Structure 1
Amino acid sequence: MIITDTHTHLYSEAFDEDRNEMINRSINQGISRFFIPAIDSTYTASMLQLENDFPKNIFLMMGLHPTHVKENYEEELNHVEEMLIKRPFFAVGEIGIDLYWDKSTLNIQKKAFKHQIQLAKKFKLPIVIHCREAFDEIFEVLETEKGDDLFGIFHCFTGTLEQAHKAISYNMKLGIGGVVTFKNGKIDQFLNQLDLNHLVLETDSPYLAPVPYRGKRNESGYIINVLEKLSEIYNVSKEKIAEITTQNSKDIFKI
């Protein structure tokens, strides 16, 4: 059984004391594919080191996270493009709009999001979208960029069934993580109305740990709890969930 974590920040400082042990623990559980989203240029070296340490398991993205879109965002976007030119990556991400922390940067967040979508198209890569309290704004940008060359993952999907259908209409898979195990997560109430072919698994570790670890540091091994919850929701085996969601990740990332 091959399990794919399509979104995990394994370079995070939260793992500095036990990173290799944690990754090996996850690999021993059958989680052998880890897709690593970028945040900003300050993490690039750590990401490259991670790939060097686990070359068969680590797959890197490049991008500027919306909460890190600041006054120097153009400089950061230049770094993203320079890295995409320099070497292969598997997606442009995570990118998008976050209005939870700072609404004042909405305009430059939109510009950075749109610019990075266009970079993804230029390099024929998927995008990985971060959306927090910004569904309307995200969809507004996607509408201007829609087409066969726009595809990717709507990371940490927490929307409604209607928003799920809309995201899927833009060639997006839905990233399902710990939220599906939360009592107030709500997505568990309608997910089985969506075909499994639209879903991928993720942890977003070290954030959003699933029940029973909620509130603690998340790690890729806890994706097993997400897998078990989806097995319940869809009434199919964990092996089948792993098989379909890993294939979906291969369809997106082309590896």
Structure 2
Amino acid sequence: MIDTHAHIYASEFDQDRDQVVERALQAGINQILLPNIDLESIQPMLATEAAYPDICRSMMGLHPCYVNQDIKQTLTEIESWFDKHNFIAVGEIGIDLYWDKTFRKEQEYAFSTQLNWAKQRNLPVVIHTRDSIEETLSLLKKEQDGSLRGVFHCFGGSVEEAKAINDLGFHLGLGGVSTFKNGGMDKVVPHLDLQYLILETDCPYLAPVPHRGKRNEPAYTQLVAQRVADLRELSLTEVDALTTQNAVQLFNL
């Protein structure tokens, strides 16, 4: 299995990162993909990748929650890293209007700019969207020239939204939200296109049931897979095989 979205470079894992990776391997998760968030996260992310070179692969991008008035300078610094290191994706990028709409225009600019990096470099994108699905899809439609591909990570939307995302050629990242009793995903997951599903944790956030509210970790990818298997009336082995193949193809692993 592949955890396609994990922040195990975060300080929440500084005390027991080795054990966290070991538990992931024991649970059958043999690859962990690391999305960048801002300038400060680059060094810890690359150090984590270097410590577990057979397991961890990193991405480069600017998360919308870290966009501010210095956006052009920040993007210049972020982009410079593509010449120094081999990244598997542009991410995580997107639009987040949940906490603060102050830098909405800057977020849109950052999103479009980074989508163009992906087109230039033939890389997939990892998209974060919160309270902004319409805005995100609208910008993506403008930029989609047939070469853009990627995933809407932490998907928790409707069947209609899933179809709109798939119609643009994009995958859905399913994580802990899929296991929440009040998340509504039990009505959505049975109708999703299996060709477009990949698994993730978004750790240390959004731990699946029965660990909800605690620190999440890559080993819990298996719990998400089991939930998808139950909702689709498939075996865990089938879900593992499908989602792993999808992730391998999407990220060219």
Shorter-chain TM range is over 0.9
The runs of 4+ residues in structure 1 deviating greater than 2 Å are none
Q: How does 1:239-254 map to 2 (within 5 A)?
A: 239-254=237-252
Gaps of 5+ in 1: none
Whole-Å separation in 1 of the counterparts to 2:239 and 2:125: 23
Q: Tell whether 2:105 aligns with 1:102.
A: no
Residue identity opposite 1:53 in structure 2: A
Whole-Å separation in 2 of the counterparts to 1:29 and 1:180: 19
Q: How many residues were matched structurally?
A: 253
Q: How does 1:143-158 map to 2 (within 5 A)?
A: 143-158=141-156
Q: Tell whether 2:17 aligns with 1:15.
A: no
My pick for the range that moved more, 16-25 or 189-198, is 189-198
Equivalent position of 1:168 in the other structure: 166
Q: Deviations over 1:47-98 (max 9, x none)?
A: 1111111000111000000000012221221122111122210000000000
Q: Tell whether 2:229 aligns with 1:231.
A: yes
Q: Percent identity?
A: 42
Whole-Å separation in 1 of the counterparts to 2:211 and 2:49: 27
Q: From 27, 38, 45, give the equivalent of 1:29.
A: 27
Tell me, yes or no, if the aligned pair for 2:23 and 2:219 is still in contact at 8 Å.
yes
Whole-Å separation in 1 of the counterparts to 2:172 and 2:73: 30
Q: Tell whether 2:127 aligns with 1:129.
A: yes
Whole-Å separation in 2 of the counterparts to 1:10 and 1:114: 27
Q: From 2, 5, 20, give the equivalent of 1:4.
A: 2
Residue 195 of structure 1 and its aligned partner are, at CA, apart by 2.3
Equivalent position of 2:58 in the other structure: 60
Equivalent position of 2:43 in the other structure: 45
Whole-Å separation in 2 of the counterparts to 1:9 and 1:241: 23
Whole-Å separation in 1 of the counterparts to 2:153 and 2:24: 20
Q: From 49, 70, 73, give the equivalent of 2:71.
A: 73
Gaps of 5+ in 2: none
Q: Tell whether 2:140 aligns with 1:142.
A: yes
Tell me, yes or no, if the aligned pair for 2:154 and 2:202 is still in contact at 8 Å.
yes
Residue identity opposite 1:147 in structure 2: D
Tell me, yes or no, if the aligned pair for 2:69 and 2:103 is still in contact at 8 Å.
no
Q: Compute the RMSD of aligned alpha carbons.
A: 0.9
Q: Deviations over 1:164-217 (max 9, x none)?
A: 000111111100000000112112212221221110000000000001111111
TM-score relative to the length of structure 1: 0.97
TM-score relative to the length of structure 2: 0.98
Residue identity opposite 2:8 in structure 1: L
Whole-Å separation in 2 of the counterparts to 1:79 and 1:22: 31
SS at match of 1:79: helix
Equivalent position of 2:183 in the other structure: 185
